[in-house]
Amino acid sequence: MKTQLVNFVIPQDLLKDVDNLAKKQLRSRSELLREAVRHLTTSAQKRRQDFLVIRASGKKINLPQDEAFTLIDKIRSTLPINR
């Protein structure tokens, strides 16, 4: 896998939190941040796929898009990961 160095600004308090978590998980700062970015991108892709499925299903039953969003939010709020 090809890699690239990336520089960005982060508040010191957040960096301390990152470093503390990395230490607790016996990981490097870089690996912890890579995993966080993987999680964010995967979650965004999953949400997009879910949205497309729900939008298509909603169209079949004439469900307005704003009501579909409301249902999605209600369902997500019940998931254990979001509690």
Could you tell me the residue range of the domain that residue 52 belongs to? 30-82
Residue 79 DSSP label: S
Is 7 a member of any domain? no
Cα–Cα distance measured from residue 45 to residue 3, given in angstroms and rounded to the nearest whole number: 22
Is 45 a member of any domain? yes
Is 47 a member of any domain? yes
Is 54 a member of any domain? yes
Is 9 a member of any domain? no
Amino acid at 27: R
Model confidence over 14-29: pLDDT tens digits?
A: 999 999 999 999 999 9
Cα–Cα distance measured from residue 69 to residue 24, given in angstroms and rounded to the nearest whole number: 37
Cα–Cα distance measured from residue 71 to residue 66, given in angstroms and rounded to the nearest whole number: 9
Cα–Cα distance measured from residue 19 to residue 21, given in angstroms and rounded to the nearest whole number: 5
- Residue 62 region, left (φ>0) first, then alpha (ψ -120 to 50), else beta? left
Domain tally for the chain? Answer: 1
- Confidence at residue 83, expressed as pLDDT on a 0 to 100 scale: 55
Structure pTM?
Answer: 0.65
Is 59 a member of any domain? yes
Model confidence over 57-83: pLDDT tens digits?
A: 878 888 887 887 788 788 878 877 655
Is 70 a member of any domain? yes
